[in-house]
């Protein structure tokens, strides 16, 4: 699927800095597109938070399409490189449900999408299973589908909520190809599933996820009106209604309808995001004007599911700096 072609290539730090004379003036009220792109490119290539995440592809856009993009580090992926996106799948499934409901979620949908339903026993799916077979699988290694009454109404980051939701929505008989066709067609993008897991099984390219985010910021998908909706606190250290979070003790973000709200009181900017375990990091800014993708596939440092793992954590930190550079027109400190 083609993206609009109004793109500023920004792959060289030298070229980027030349384009804006080393950075936008702090007094400039509205940075121009070239200044924003230059600052974002320089940040991607040399900011410490982004050096830690390299190699990666990055892009920023708005409702019209991709506005700037680049590659940082040796052998960085391209925009059309297909990769597993892990938990970035969650935002796509939430958007699929929003389309099914024409933007009006049922009361029963909400705890399954903000992870307070109590369906917290879930490991992973086998590739050849259907959605329902995965949801009900109970074995020596894999134990899925369990419900804990003690977790009802309390945040618990787990793929079990969405797997249960998919069965209730009638997707139980779908295998990977049928699931990809059903979700992808609703959202207007091309995806595949490597396992029939709604919360983490998607493989796609940055270009396709860009198309999804473009449609969100253009208000062409119902999830646009649900950004930040029904958000719950997630940090068990500071919130008694949270049980388990990949961010525990580090970031006090909230969790909404299949996505994080980056509103930590010590420096969050309120952006919406869905970081994947291997480092794929999509975002929409708090003002719902800009979107971005940082795409990489890194398996080193994985310790569990979610943004506490090193690849996802590094991508989220770098992506936030690129977002800051784009909005301000300056390379952040």
When pLDDT is averaged across residues 65-86 and rounded to a whole number, the result is 98
Read off the pLDDT band of 6 (50, 70, 90). Answer: very low
Q: What's the predicted TM-score (pTM) here?
A: 0.90
When pLDDT is averaged across residues 241-245 and rounded to a whole number, the result is 95
Q: Using the predicted structure, report yes or no on whether residue 14 has a pLDDT greater than 80.
A: no
14: helix, coil or strand?
helix
Q: What is the CA radius of gyration of the chain?
A: 19
Architecture of domain 8-328: 3-Layer(aba) Sandwich (3.40)
Q: Using the predicted structure, report yes or no on whether residue 7 has a pLDDT greater than 80.
A: no
Read off the pLDDT band of 28 (50, 70, 90). Answer: low
The CA distance from 305 to 278, in Å, is 10
* Alpha-helix residue ranges (DSSP H) falling in the chain: 13-20, 33-46, 48-51, 89-100, 109-113, 131-135, 160-168, 176-187, 206-217, 310-328
| Two structure tokens written together for 190 | 């091309």
For the chain, the structural domain boundaries read 8-328
284: helix, coil or strand?
strand
User: Could you tell me the sign of the dihedral formed by the alpha carbons of 56, 59, 283, 327, in that order?
Assistant: positive
What pLDDT is stored for residue 250 in this prediction? 86
What pLDDT is stored for residue 170 in this prediction? 97
Read off the pLDDT of residues 31-53 as tens digits, 9 standing for 90 and up.
999 999 999 999 999 999 999 99
* Mean pLDDT of the chain, nearest integer: 91
When pLDDT is averaged across residues 181-205 and rounded to a whole number, the result is 98
Read off the pLDDT of residues 286-317 as tens digits, 9 standing for 90 and up.
999 999 999 999 987 565 555 557 899 999 99
Read off the pLDDT of residues 102-161 as tens digits, 9 standing for 90 and up.
999 999 999 999 999 999 999 999 999 999 999 999 988 899 999 999 999 999 999 999
DSSP label at 223?
A: G
């Amino acid at each position: 699927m083609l993206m609009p072609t109004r793109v500023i290539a920004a792959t060289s730090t030298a070229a980027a800095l030349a384009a804006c004379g080393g950075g936008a003036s702090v007094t400039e009220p509205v940075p121009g597109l070239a200044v924003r792109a230059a600052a974002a490119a320089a940040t991607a290539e040399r900011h410490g938070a982004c050096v830690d995440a390299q190699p990666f592809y990055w892009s920023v856009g708005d409702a019209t399409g991709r506005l700037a993009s680049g590659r940082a580090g040796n052998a960085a992926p391209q925009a059309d490189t297909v990769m597993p996106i892990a938990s970035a799948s969650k935002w796509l499934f939430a958007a699929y449900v929003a389309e099914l409901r024409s933007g009006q979620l049922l009361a029963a949908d909400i705890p399954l999408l903000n992870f307070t339903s109590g369906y917290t026993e879930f490991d992973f799916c086998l590739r050849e299973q259907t959605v329902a077979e995965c949801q009900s699988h109970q074995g020596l290694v894999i134990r899925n589908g369990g419900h804990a009454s003690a977790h009802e109404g309390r945040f618990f980051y787990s793929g079990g909520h969405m797997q249960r939701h998919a069965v209730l929505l009638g997707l139980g008989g779908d295998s990977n190809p049928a699931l990809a066709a059903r979700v992808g067609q609703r959202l207007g993008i091309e995806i595949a599933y490597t396992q029939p897991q709604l919360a983490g099984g998607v493989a796609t390219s940055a270009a396709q996820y860009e198309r999804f985010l473009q449609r969100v910021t253009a208000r062409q998908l119902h999830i646009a009106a649900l950004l930040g909706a029904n958000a719950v606190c997630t940090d068990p250290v500071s919130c008694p209604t949270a049980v388990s979070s990949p961010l525990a003790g580090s970031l006090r973000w909230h969790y909404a309808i299949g996505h994080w709200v980056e509103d930590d009181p010590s420096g969050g900017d309120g952006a919406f995001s869905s970081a994947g375990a291997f480092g794929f990091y999509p975002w929409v800014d708090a003002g719902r004007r800009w979107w971005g993708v940082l795409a990489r596939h890194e398996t080193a440092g994985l310790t569990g599911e979610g943004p506490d793992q090193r690849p996802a954590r590094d991508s989220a930190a770098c992506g936030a700096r690129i977002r800051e550079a784009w909005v301000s027109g300056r390379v952040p400190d």
